Amino acid sequence: MGLFTGKKGLVLGVANDFSIAWAISQKLLAEGADIGYTHLPGDKMERRVRKVVDPTGAKLVTPCDVQKDEDVARVFDEARNIYGSLDFVLHSIAFAPLEDLKKNFVYASREGFKTAMDISVYSLAIVARHAAESMPNGGAIETLTYYGGEKVVSGYNLMGVCKAALDASVKYLAYDLGPKKIRVNALSAGPVKTLAASAVGESDKLAGLYEAVSPMQRNIDREEVGSAGMFLLSDLASGITGEIMHVDCGYNAMGSPGRALEAAEAAAKK
C-alpha cells in the first residue's frame, strides 16, 4: 500500500521528462496514484507528452488550452467520466511571450503582461474552480512557483511579477476552498534545468549561485523536488494549506551572500 493507493489525480503541464511536473508525477506513481495528464494543443506536444506518460498506463491524455474556459471545463468533464472524482491536481503551467520575458519588466508590453498573467496566474484559478467540482470529498491542489516572485532575480523579469501574483492566488484559493476540505499550496524549487527555465535569462548562473550562498552549499535535484511535491499532495500534509514551500537548500533564508562572501574575502587576501 502506497500513500496514493486508490487516489486519482490530474497533472497539467508535463512538457517532457525534464519537467518538474514529471518529477512529482514519478513520485506519485511510485506511491500508487492513478494519474491523467494534459498537454498543450498540437500533435507535436501530444507526441512529446505521450512518449513520457504512455508507459505508465495513463487513462487520460488530453490537450488543454487554459485560455479557454470551455476547454478547461471539457478536461475536467473527461476526468470525471474516467475517474469519477479526483483527489489531487497538480498545476504546472506558466508562459510569457519571449520578447517580453527577455526585457526588463519596465519595458514589458501591455499585451505580453495580459498574456503572461492569464496563462501563468488566472489558469490556476479556473483550474481550481473546476477541480473543486471534481473533489466532493476534499483534496489537494498544488502549483509551482519560484523565489523570483518574492525577491528580484535578475533575468526573471515579467515572470517574477506573475509568480508574485500566483503566490497571492494560492493563499486566496486556500481560503476560498478550505470549507470544501480542499488544500491549495505552492512548491518553490531552486534552479532545475527544464524547458521553461531555458527561456529565463541568466538561468545557467543560478545553480552556481545557490551552491555558493545556500546554507547547505549545494543546489537541489529533481528527486528532492519530486518528493516534496508528492508530500504536499499527500495526506501527510493534511494540515498544510496556503503555504509556499521552498525546496532550495535554504537559499530563501539568506539575507546576505553568507559563506560566499567569506570565501570571496579570503580569496581577495591571497
Q: Mind telling me the catalytic residues?
A: 146, 156
Cell numbers for 129: 474552480
Sign of CA dihedral 105, 111, 116, 118: positive
Backbone angles phi, psi at 192, to 5 degrees: -130, 135
Residues in CB range of 221: below 8 A, 6 or more apart? none
DSSP 96: -
Residue with cell 474516467: 82
Identity at 26, one-letter amino acid code = Q
Grid cell for residue 158? 515579467
The answer to whether 20 and 192 have CB atoms below 8 angstroms apart is yes
Q: How far apart are CA 244 and CA 251, in angstroms?
A: 14
